[in-house]
Each structure stands twice: as C-alpha cells, then as structure tokens.
Chain A
Amino acid sequence: MRSADRSGIRWLLAELPDLVASGTLSAENAEALRQHYATDVPTEPSRIGFVLSAILGSLLVGAGIILLVAHNWDFLSRAVRCAIALAPLVLSQAFAIFVLLRRNASAPWRETAGILNVAAIGTAIALISQTYQIQGDFARFILVWMLLALPVVYLFRTSVGLSIYFVGATIWVLSSKGNAFLNARPNDLWAWLLLALGVPAFIARWRENRDGYGTLLCLTALAVAAAFSLGQTDEIGAQSFWRCSFAGFWTVVYLIGAVPLKDWRATRPHPFVAAGWIGILSLAIFLSFQDTWRSRQWQNAVDLIPRHYPDMLAAGIQIAWILTAILFAAYALWKDRSRVNLAPAAFAPIAVIAWAIAKRTGAPLIPSLLLNLFTLLLGVFTLLRGIRAGRVYEANLGMLVIAILAIARFFDSDLEFVVRGIAFIAIGLGFLVTNLVVFKRRART
C-alpha cells in the first residue's frame, strides 16, 4: 500500500457526508472507509510535531550554549574556562546515558540526545582550542569532530545526526582541498571513505522507513555530499570525464526517486524525481551546446585510465558512478518499465557515447547533436507517455523539455542562421504534429 498522504485522507473523510448525501456512497461504505483510515490519522501529526520540536529545541539549546561560552571570558582562569568548555559535553553524555537506559525506544529522545552530544563535541574542541590559542587547521577540526560523531549516529539511530555527519563530510571535502591527509595526495578521495562510513547507518534508516522525512533528510545530505566529492574526484581523475560522471550521478538521483521511492506519497512524486529531472535536463542542455565539447585538451591530455595511483582510483570512482547508473537503469527496465518513465535514465549511456566520440574525433559537432537528439526524444517520449496515460503534468513536462531545448538553440551562436532556422522549423513542426496526433487520439477515446 502507498504510504498515507494525510492531507488526502483528511480531505476524503471530510467529503464523506456529502458523498453519502448525494447517494454516491452508502452509509455503510462511508463508515467502512472512515474506519479504514481513522486509525493512523489522529496519532501521526502529533508524533511528527513532537519530533520536530524536540530537534529544533535541542539545536537551539546547543547553539545557545556555544554562543554563550564562545564569548571568550578572559577574566576567568584557564581552568575555569576549560571546565565550562567541557561541561556541555559531560552533561550531554549524562543525558545520552539516561536516554539509552530509559528512553531508547523513543525516536524523539534519541534524536535529541544524539544532536546535543554531536554539538557538544564540536563545542568542547573549539572552545579548548580558543582558550589555549591552539591554531590547528579547520579541515582537521571538522574531521576529528565527524569521526567522533559517527559512533553517536549509530548508537542513537538519529536521522538529523546522520545528516549532520554527511554535511560535515562535505565541509571537510571543501576545506581540505589540496592538503595532504594520511600522506595521500591529493586527499579528496578520502571523502568517499568518510561517506561510506555513514552509509550503513543510512541503510538502517532506509529499512526502517524509506518514505519518512528523516530518511529524506539523510538522503539529501548524502546526495549533496556525494555531488561535492564527485566534483573533487573529477579534478583528479580523467578531467573531461566529468560530463559522464555527473550524468551518472543525476541519473542515479532520478532513479532513486523514481524506482524504489515511487510509492513516496499517493499524490506526488518523491523530491528526488524533481531533483533528478532538473539535474539531467540542465546538464543535457549544457552539453547540447557545441562549446562545451570544444576542449583544447582532447588531444594531449586525459587518458581514460591514468597511470598513477590517486588518479587511477579517481577514474575508477568516476566509472563506478556511470556503471551504477547504467546497472540501476537496467534493473528498473527489467522490473518497473510500465510504471516508471525511464527515458531520463538513458542520459548516462548517451553521455558516455558522446564523450567517447569527442575523445576519438576531437570534434564537438556530433556529441552536441547527440545530446540534442537525446533531449528532444526525452521530451517527446515524456509527452506521449503523459498523454497516453492521461497525466497532464507529465505531458506538460515533456513539452517543457522541448521548449527549453528550443530556447537553448535560439541562443546558440555556434549554429548558422540557416541551420538554426531549419532546426527551429523542425522542432516547431514536431511540436504541432505531436499535439495534433495526440489530441486527436485523446478525443477519439
């Protein structure tokens, strides 16, 4: 069963008297519906409200403590300042032990204890550093903080804590750029290890309730962290290959929302479907310009498989994203073809083919044409699919894709006016013909 969309249920329950009055439903049927949906309606909102207020409250308290103590009272002796810095940590630990003993079954208590403890770790380190004028670099501070927070995330099964961990990993990726870590250079690839350490906790959240908002928060944080890490990885690996690795990334984002989370809510798709569409469309349109394939380095740089260790690993990670996207799409094709629009997932293989052609020939024309063709077909396919199933939003989405492509071509200074004109006429004709055919068919049925 689809997970309950509470506003929908409330609407349905409110409609019941009218439906009975108009004779659409019998009184028994209405009562049966009421009983079927009555069970989870009153309990759910208050619980979510409690979780939210617990999280918000503990974040505010944590931030307040940080601000108070960070005021840097230099009239206090060093020992007193150290005690003040460590006090939130010790208190949060005592609270955490209480929660483990007495409130371990309650998600809000666990979230609260986890967040307070994670915040207290960072506070203690930062305040001690300030008291003693310890310089240290920011990246290392974040790294130590996150590594200390990680076991807390597992012990307290906290969604917000896990999201903080992923965000922290992202900040570390960005702030440690170019520095050595554990004698590896450049260190940016270590971000993947840091992310991987959080993935089992994420899987546990997913198993518990994949349609919940907590899981959505973790998933979003993980996706953002992965995007930044992939950006860094692209700079180390085969650089021109970023086109493909990000095509893979956005395809995976789309497929996660569209396939395993297709039952997210009865009335609307998962946010990752929208995010995936935006990502795929933006990148596809970007790559449909010839300029983006015109690289001076095609000839002399970037073998697909570089020869040195970190570069090789980076290229491996890039390829892994592509393979994941393609395998994921193949799985969806085999399993869910009828229910899910899989056309956007063709982006990953198309991008690889375009890249291979560009790499081989060094000419930007064919790759950009390929991406144009892909975007056009994506739009047409989505339009047709939407109209065939009678889904207006999907049909509109298809038209939107075609329209964006047309606008992109209008601004394309690369194309001669003649080519531009012909392309426009073709797209316009395609538009008209599709609409004509589709609406005629719709009128017939």
Chain B
Amino acid sequence: MKHWRLFVFGLVGLAQLAVPASLIWKREQTLRHGSVWKFRTAPVDPVDAFRGRYVALQFDVETQEISPPPDAGSGQTVFVTMRQNAEGFAEIDQVLASPPPGDDFIEAKLAGKTVSLPFDKYWVNERDAPAAEAAYLAQSRRDKRNAFVTVRVFRGDAALEQLNLDGLPLGDYLRANAK
C-alpha cells in the first residue's frame, strides 16, 4: 500500500521537475545557439510602460504592416523571419503559416495586418525597478529613441537577452547614471 504511493509520487515528482527543467533546456539552447537580433522599442505611453516589476515593451516592427499568409485569422500562430535594416535593427521579412527551413525564425501571433511578438515584458530587480522605469521612459521618447532589446532566436523560440539604453545594457546604464 505504502509502496505504490511512493512509486506514483516518484513519477509525479519527475513530472514536476521536468516542467521547469524543459523550460531551462529550451532557453539554454536558444541562448547558446540562437542568432542575435536587435529590436528597437517603440515610443511608449508613459502610463502603461511599467507594471510592478517589469518594463512593458513595444517594438517598431509591431506596427510594421505585413502580408499575412492566406487564410490566416487574427490570433493565429505564424512563423516570422527577419532581415536587418540600414541601422542594424530587425525588420520583419516574411510571415509564414508553417515553419521555414533553418533555425532563424520566431513563432508569433498574427494581429490583423501586423504581428505581435512573443516577448513584451522585461523583468527587473525589485530594487532597480523605479530607476529602470525612469530610464526606459527617458530613452523611448518620440524625439529621443535610444532603447532596443537584443533577442536570441532559435527554431521559433525567442529569448529576450538584454534591454539596452543609450548603447548600454540596462544594469550598466543604471550604474553609470546613478547619482
């Protein structure tokens, strides 16, 4: 009686570990083997930018009008390939209904004539949160746009690597501007 419970809990415990472990594995793969893309953030609505402890990100490419695959409805999963523009930032190249060959594509959601990227939150340290908010707002104004994120892309998965402000990673920027 005792032992079947133990056996079942062994399986349950493995499943419990498998879920976070698979998250780690997938992300590590992406961070190791993925190619780096820079996404420039869009000007932000100050009220909406910061919720608790993450920066709510919006990107230029999310307003880029694309030609959706035929028969694709809003909210449907699509596969997006990118190209670099003259300034070195990512632009959407193709939007496809099925995964393209190669490793360099993102799984995203179709939103009408645009694409909604699968990363829109940047979690920050509780202590740094207020400073990060102010810094992000200062660097994402319409007249001064110096914020972008680096994203590693590998077989559909997109791992947000770093939020960069004024050419520096967020942490370095905050240290440099700390007074």
The answer to whether A and B come from one shared complex is yes
Interface set of A (CB-CB < 8 Å, partner B): 71-74, 82, 85-86, 89-90, 93, 96-97, 100-101, 104, 117, 120-121, 124-125, 128-130, 132-135, 144, 148, 151-152, 155, 180
Which of B9, B119, B161 sits near A155, CB closer than 8 Å?
Answer: B9
Collect the chain B residues with CB atoms within 8 Å of residue A101's CB.
2, 6
Collect the chain B residues with CB atoms within 8 Å of residue A90's CB.
17
B101 close to chain A: CB less than 8 A: no
How many chain B residues touch A (CB < 8 A): the figure is: 31
Are B16 and A93 closer than 8 Å at their CB atoms?
yes
Are B122 and A128 closer than 8 Å at their CB atoms?
no
Are A72 and B20 closer than 8 Å at their CB atoms?
no
- Return A374 CB to nearest CB of chain B, in Å: 44
Collect the chain A residues with CB atoms within 8 Å of residue B6's CB.
97, 100-101
Collect the chain B residues with CB atoms within 8 Å of residue A144's CB.
19
- Return B72 CB to nearest CB of chain A, in Å: 14
B121 close to chain A: CB less than 8 A: yes
Which of B20, B126, B128 sits near A128, CB closer than 8 Å?
Answer: B20
Are B171 and A74 closer than 8 Å at their CB atoms?
yes
Are B24 and A130 closer than 8 Å at their CB atoms?
no
Are A86 and B122 closer than 8 Å at their CB atoms?
no
Q: Considering the complex, give the chain A residue whose CB is closest to the CB of B151.
A: A133
Task: Determine the distance from Cα of A148 to Cα of B12 in the docked complex, in whole angstroms.
Answer: 7
Q: Considering the complex, give the chain B residue whose CB is closest to the CB of A74.
A: B125
- Return B3 CB to nearest CB of chain A, in Å: 9
Are B17 and A134 closer than 8 Å at their CB atoms?
no
Interface set of B (CB-CB < 8 Å, partner A): 2, 5-6, 8-9, 12-13, 15-17, 19-20, 23-24, 27, 53, 75, 118-126, 128, 159-161, 171
Q: Considering the complex, give the chain A residue whose CB is closest to the CB of B12.
A: A151
Are A125 and B19 closer than 8 Å at their CB atoms?
yes
Are B123 and A133 closer than 8 Å at their CB atoms?
yes
- Return B147 CB to nearest CB of chain A, in Å: 16
Are B8 and A86 closer than 8 Å at their CB atoms?
no
- Return A39 CB to nearest CB of chain B, in Å: 29
Task: Determine the distance from Cα of A93 to Cα of B123 in the docked complex, in whole angstroms.
Answer: 28
Are A93 and B126 closer than 8 Å at their CB atoms?
no
Are A133 and B19 closer than 8 Å at their CB atoms?
no
Are A85 and B159 closer than 8 Å at their CB atoms?
no
Are A97 and B2 closer than 8 Å at their CB atoms?
no
Are B2 and A89 closer than 8 Å at their CB atoms?
no
Collect the chain B residues with CB atoms within 8 Å of residue A97's CB.
6, 9, 13
Q: Considering the complex, give the chain B residue whose CB is closest to the CB of A94.
A: B13
Are B2 and A121 closer than 8 Å at their CB atoms?
no
Collect the chain B residues with CB atoms within 8 Å of residue A134's CB.
23, 27, 159
In the assembled complex, 7 residue pairs joining A and B whose CB atoms fall closer than 8 Å, in A order, are A93-B16, A100-B6, A125-B19, A125-B23, A132-B24, A135-B160, A151-B9
Question: Given A133-B160, A152-B12, A72–B125 Cβ distance below 8 Å?
Answer: yes
Task: Determine the distance from Cα of A265 to Cα of B13 in the docked complex, in whole angstroms.
Answer: 40
- Return A441 CB to nearest CB of chain B, in Å: 61
Are A73 and B125 closer than 8 Å at their CB atoms?
yes
Q: Considering the complex, give the chain A residue whose CB is closest to the CB of B22.
A: A128
Are B124 and A155 closer than 8 Å at their CB atoms?
no
Collect the chain A residues with CB atoms within 8 Å of residue B9's CB.
93, 96-97, 100, 151, 155
- Return B149 CB to nearest CB of chain A, in Å: 9
Q: Considering the complex, give the chain B residue whose CB is closest to the CB of A179.
A: B75
Task: Pick the most buried of B6, B23, B75: most chain A CB atoms within 10 A of its CB.
Answer: B23
Task: Determine the distance from Cα of A151 to Cα of B10 in the docked complex, in whole angstroms.
Answer: 11
Task: Determine the distance from Cα of A93 to Cα of B6 in the docked complex, in whole angstroms.
Answer: 11
Task: Determine the distance from Cα of A71 to Cα of B53 in the docked complex, in whole angstroms.
Answer: 10
Are B19 and A148 closer than 8 Å at their CB atoms?
yes
Question: Given A130-B123, A135-B119, A86–B12 Cβ distance below 8 Å?
Answer: no
Are B20 and A125 closer than 8 Å at their CB atoms?
yes
Question: Given A104-B2, A135-B118, A89–B171 Cβ distance below 8 Å?
Answer: no
Are A72 and B53 closer than 8 Å at their CB atoms?
yes
Task: Determine the distance from Cα of A46 to Cα of B124 in the docked complex, in whole angstroms.
Answer: 46
Question: Given A72-B126, A135-B120, A155-B8, A89–B24 Cβ distance below 8 Å?
Answer: no
Question: Given A71-B126, A73-B125, A93-B16, A128–B8 Cβ distance below 8 Å?
Answer: no
Task: Determine the distance from Cα of A151 to Cα of B9 in the docked complex, in whole angstroms.
Answer: 8
Which of A71, A100, A151 sits near B2, CB closer than 8 Å?
Answer: A100
Question: Given A100-B2, A100-B9, A135-B118, A89–B160 Cβ distance below 8 Å?
Answer: no
Which of A74, A82, A148 sits near B16, CB closer than 8 Å?
Answer: A148
Question: Given A100-B6, A155-B5, A72–B124 Cβ distance below 8 Å?
Answer: yes
Collect the chain B residues with CB atoms within 8 Å of residue A132's CB.
23-24, 27, 159
Task: Determine the distance from Cα of A36 to Cα of B23 in the docked complex, in whole angstroms.
Answer: 60
Are A148 and B15 closer than 8 Å at their CB atoms?
yes
- Return A403 CB to nearest CB of chain B, in Å: 47
Task: Determine the distance from Cα of A144 to Cα of B22 in the docked complex, in whole angstroms.
Answer: 13
